Amino acid sequence: MPELPEVETVRAGLAQHLIGRNILTVTCHRQSLRYPLPDFTPLIDQQIVAVNRRSKYLLFVLDNDQTLVWHLGMTGQFHLLPGLSDSGLHEHVCIALSDGQSLRYRDARRFGYAGLIDSAALLVHPWFATLGPEPLSDDFSSDSLAAVCRGRKAPIKTVIMDAANVVGLGNIYAAESLFRAGIHPARAAGNISKKRLALLTDTIKQVLQEAIKAGGSTISDFVKVDGKPGYFSHSFQVYGRAGEPCLHCGKVIKRITQAGRSSFYCPSCQR
């Protein structure tokens, strides 16, 4: 699922169905995912008043001044099903709602995690305290990006994938943003002109916005009823295209490993 556009699309789809609903029961099929799951009993009889997002975290705001925080990890999915049918493969949590539907959490790799946090204390919680700006807000700007790049020898790709600097970018959108900005993923962050960082700031915002727009058509279906896979189908310019021709110049797209992840780039267009 989950880079920012996917999480945002899931958020929007869930908000539509969950706001105003009450939670009747919560059933867990295992005690922990990446971390131990919280005690869900405080959720019982609470109303969901908002479904928000910060970084890649979904925030279910309850009317008891607590927030159910959920991270999808790599493979986490939420599905809304009519009624309380049997749990499917890798389904770990089932939340029964007052409208007769049930919200199911499924996660094959179990890298996802959840917590129940006092809403007032959300921003000081360790998951949130160190997060950088939202990329689509004015807090993320050429100035803020330049500030975190200054003096850094780390590759620009790892800098923009570090949530302390800007949240929401994963392996795909980092690669696509750098391609559009013409910046080589391995270039030292501190060695990029202010002007080029300003361009990168713009391409990050563009790419994420376009992805949210495109994601709406596919992933919202997935949230709807019976959970069709609904994978985000976007035409990537470099991600996953190693060995294929660059759509801009025709040179062969390369793949390198950075921080244990694949990076894709055009050796001619990106410097």
Q: Kindly list the catalytic residues.
A: 2-3, 56, 261
Answer yes or no: are the C-beta atoms of 258 and 50 closer than 8 Å: no
Should residue 158 be labelled a site residue for DNA when binding is judged by CB under 7 A? yes
Of 1, 160, 208, 266, the residue at the interface with DNA (CB under 7 A) is 1
Measured CA to CA, the distance from residue 268 to residue 249 in angstroms comes to 8
Of 29, 109, 194, 228, the residue at the interface with DNA (CB under 7 A) is 109
Question: Quick one: CA dihedral 19, 23, 29, 34, positive or negative?
Answer: positive
Binding mask 196-235 for DNA (x = CB under 7 A): -----------------------------------xx---
The half-sphere exposure of 32 on its side-chain side, counting CA atoms within 13 A, is 3
Should residue 195 be labelled a site residue for DNA when binding is judged by CB under 7 A? no
Of 56, 106, 180, 241, the residue at the interface with DNA (CB under 7 A) is 56
Should residue 187 be labelled a site residue for DNA when binding is judged by CB under 7 A? no
Should residue 147 be labelled a site residue for DNA when binding is judged by CB under 7 A? no
CB atoms within 10 A of CB 43: 21
Of 6, 8, 91, 176, the residue at the interface with DNA (CB under 7 A) is 6
Measured CA to CA, the distance from residue 206 to residue 169 in angstroms comes to 12
- 208-to-18, 33, 135, 195, 204 alpha-carbon distances in Å: 25, 28, 8, 20, 6
| Residue 61, both tokens | 């705001």
Query: Among all chains, which residue has been given the structure tokens 């925030």?
Result: 59
- Residue 79 Cβ vs DNA, minimum distance, rounded to whole Å: 15
Should residue 55 be labelled a site residue for DNA when binding is judged by CB under 7 A? yes
* Sites of contact with DNA (CB under 7 A): 1-3, 6, 34, 55-56, 71, 73-74, 89-90, 108-111, 126-127, 152-155, 158, 161, 163, 170-172, 231-232, 259-262
